[in-house]
Structure 1
Amino acid sequence: MVLLAAIALSSFVFIANPQGDLAISSLKVVSSNARRYPNKKQDLAFVHFNITADLAPLFHWNTKQLFLYLEAEYTNAKGTKNEVVIWDRIVRRKEDAFIKFAGKNKYMFRDVSSSFKNVPPAHYSLKYNVMPYVGVLTYGEAARTTEPVAFPPSQSRL
């Protein structure tokens, strides 16, 4: 038990500051029928983004894998703060820790109020979770958009 505790505590010696770049290339809001209620309209946001990040400094002898995710942070029209995960990836090897990815949201991005109308612009951030072999999980942020990205008016789905 002492050895495991020493291993877990020694992980705090390795302090890494991964650097990355995150750009939102386009954001489109589409109004469509809600999934369970066909007569109710609901806005869906489609985010296209570019990620470049070097996460290799996070890997050391006690790193099992990284959980990497893109998060949208915004306050809805009712004043509720929301943090929505729209994309994720698991990185298992240091060789795969340099991320260069261009894509769109993997998960459905919608607001509880069914509309993005009058919602202030959102900040997007690339966050990570280091999962060690032994010890506590650590969280961090690798990249963030410099300016908030506004939600455009919704378009009806054809």
Structure 2
Amino acid sequence: MARTVSRAKEMSWTDPACPVARTLDLVGDRWSLLIIRDAMDGARAFTDFQHRTGIARNILTDRLRRLVERGILERQTAPTGRRQNYVLTAAGRDLFAVIVAARQWGERHAFAPAETHSVLVDESGVPLPELRPVDVHGRSADIDTTSVRHER
């Protein structure tokens, strides 16, 4: 996490005071999120990411470099010693809830009712329950029950 924070000071931001904007500046493009998704699903090598996403080599090279620079992925030498693997850092692993939220939104809004799609399941094979924010009392929180406080 410290690496992400240290890199954050060097970047120019879309909206410097907004955590959502900063997150999107760090990881918000389509290819980066798909790379992060695939890393969470076990992809490690350049060719893994390329085969899973269909991304052009030059774009993949650029996105992997950026994700390493921003502290989301780290390079590790593969056991063979002949190539580099990409592994999620703690900051990268912390994006799991973001990926789950995007997945679940897509399940609700991006597919026709009978259209098949992949499903994220827990270790016993049961689909994860819908991810929903709650307040400090465990009550459902939504746009009607929350507000943004701007710190000075």
Q: TM-score range by the shorter chain?
A: under 0.3
More helix by share: 2
Question: Computing the radius of gyration over CA atoms, which structure comes out larger, 1 or 2?
Answer: 1
Q: Which has the higher contact order (CA 8 A, sep 6+)?
A: 1
More strand by share: 1
